[in-house]
């Protein structure tokens, strides 16, 4: 089953301010509204491509991420990694949000040295408390990005937008402490097994793509593992494995540090042609086709 990448469009903004630059840098907000305006509930949205960030300034945003209900309150920050389902419930809040593809955020993390401390992995979210001062700094960073997005396109625009995004992330992570992190871990057995599966998957997905392999290591049946995974993601265990593998492959293809043959070997595919068929079955692109559309060499860094 091919799970296509989601394209963020104006419809996702539900009438709020929305702007997109080439589908790579997407922002939306309701900063001009008075009081705590109502955000109407919206249907399930499977996010396969984007790192979704939102900051709430007033009120509370009610959202369900992979089956976990979250309340994002004033002076709080939520980041949702790709391969997660999102459901927005009726809320009253003032917020701003951004959606940037995972391969761009990963590369920014590497360039700002954030990646050395914090890995970006699929099927994860982080919920943080912010100080009012940090909230204000991040708001100003967002407003600079918004102002730039509204300018007519010009050759260096993506570089400028990337710089603003880098600065905002560097500001955030330079202030984050362990006390800032809001935990949503539950004591349920299925949740523990699900997180155990994700941990093993993140560590071993380059070597193993078999549901049976992970189930055996966890000492449960493949059917039970698939049931657990479906309860938290709405996907089968096999689909989650494929999405995690593709998440990492896209990052490798984007930076293009290795050729396709070496990436195929790194991810333990029996041949380069098998790798190409696997990638196209899930994404709709051949590896070469993906590189032509999504590669760091497509922009000129200064």
What integer pLDDT is reported at residue 33 of this predicted model?
A: 92
State the Cα angle at 69 between 65 and 72, rounded to 5°. 90
Above 90 in pLDDT, residue 42? no
Would you state the pLDDT for residue 117? Answer: 53
Burial letters 261-284, b for 16+ CB under 10 A, else e: eebbeebebeeeeebbebbeebbe
What is the pLDDT confidence band of residue 302, given thresholds at 50, 70 and 90?
very low
């093993």: which residue's tokens? 200
How is 51-97 classified by DSSP, letter by letter? EEEEEEEEEEEEEEETTEEEEEETTEEEEE-SSEEEEEPPEEEEEEE
Task: Give the residue from 227, 231, 237 showing the smallest Cα distance to 198.
Answer: 237
pLDDT band for 3, please (50, 70, 90 cuts). very low
The reported pLDDT for the residue numbered 127 is 95
In the predicted model, is pLDDT for residue 38 greater than 70?
A: yes
Residue pair 25/98 in contact by the 8 Å Cβ criterion: yes
- Which residues lie closer than 8 Å to 154 by C-beta, 6 or more apart? none
Per-residue pLDDT for 147 more than 70?
A: yes
- What is the Cα–Cα distance from 25 to 71, expressed in whole angstroms? 25
Taking only the tens place, the pLDDT of each residue in 151-202 is 999 988 988 998 999 888 888 888 888 899 998 876 688 888 988 998 899 8
User: What are 157's two structure tokens?
Assistant: 């625009």
pLDDT bin (cut points 50, 70, 90) of residue 300 is: very low
Domain boundaries, given as residue ranges, for the chain: 10-180, 189-298
Distance CA 90, CA 63 (A): 9
What span, in angstroms and rounded, lies between the C-alpha atoms of 93 and 60? Answer: 5
- pLDDT of 299 strictly over 60: no
pLDDT value for 104? 83
In DSSP terms, 292 is beta-bridged to none
Confidence of residue 118 (pLDDT cuts 50, 70, 90): low
What SS3 string covers 265-299?
HHCCCCCHHHHHHHHHHHHCCCHHHHHHHCCHHHC
pLDDT digits (tens, 9 = 90+) for 202-259: 889 999 999 999 999 999 999 999 999 888 887 899 999 998 898 888 878 877 666 8
Domain 10-180 is in which class? Answer: mainly beta
pTM: 0.79
Q: What is the CA radius of gyration of the chain?
A: 19
Higher-pLDDT residue of 33 and 119 is 33
Q: What's the CA gap between 281 and 302, in Å, rounded?
A: 36
CATH class of this structure's domain 189-298: mainly alpha
- pLDDT for res 52: 92
pLDDT at res. 188: 80
């Amino acid at each position: 089953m091919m799970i296509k990448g989601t394209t963020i469009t104006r419809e996702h903004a539900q009438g709020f301010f929305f702007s997109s630059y080439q589908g790579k840098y997407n922002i939306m907000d309701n900063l001009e509204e008075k009081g705590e305006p109502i955000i109407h509930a919206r249907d399930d949205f499977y996010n396969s491509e984007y790192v979704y960030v939102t900051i709430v300034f007033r009120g509370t945003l009610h959202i369900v991420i992979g089956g976990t209900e979250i309340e994002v309150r004033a002076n709080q920050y939520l980041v949702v990694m790709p391969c997660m389902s999102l459901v927005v419930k009726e809320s009253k809040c003032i917020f701003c949000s951004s959606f940037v593809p995972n391969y761009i955020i990963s590369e920014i993390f590497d360039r700002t040295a954030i990646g050395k401390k914090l890995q970006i992995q699929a099927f994860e979210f982080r919920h943080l408390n912010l100080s009012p001062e940090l909230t204000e700094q991040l708001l100003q960073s967002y407003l600079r990005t918004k102002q730039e997005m509204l300018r007519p396109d010009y050759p260096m625009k993506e570089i400028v937008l990337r710089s603003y995004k880098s600065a905002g992330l560097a500001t955030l992570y330079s202030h984050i402490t362990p006390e800032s992190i809001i935990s949503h871990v539950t004591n349920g057995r299925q949740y523990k097994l699900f997180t155990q599966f994700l941990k093993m998957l993140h560590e071993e997905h380059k070597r193993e793509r078999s549901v049976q392999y992970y189930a055996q290591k966890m000492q449960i049946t493949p059917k039970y593992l698939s049931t657990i995974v479906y309860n938290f993601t709405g996907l089968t265990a096999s689909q989650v494995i494929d999405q995690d593998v593709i998440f990492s492959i896209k990052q490798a293809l984007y930076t293009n540090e290795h050729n396709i043959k070496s990436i195929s070997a790194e991810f333990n595919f029996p041949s380069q042609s098998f790798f190409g068929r696997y990638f196209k079955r899930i994404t709709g692109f051949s590896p070469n086709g993906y590189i032509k559309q999504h590669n760091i060499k497509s922009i000129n860094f200064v």
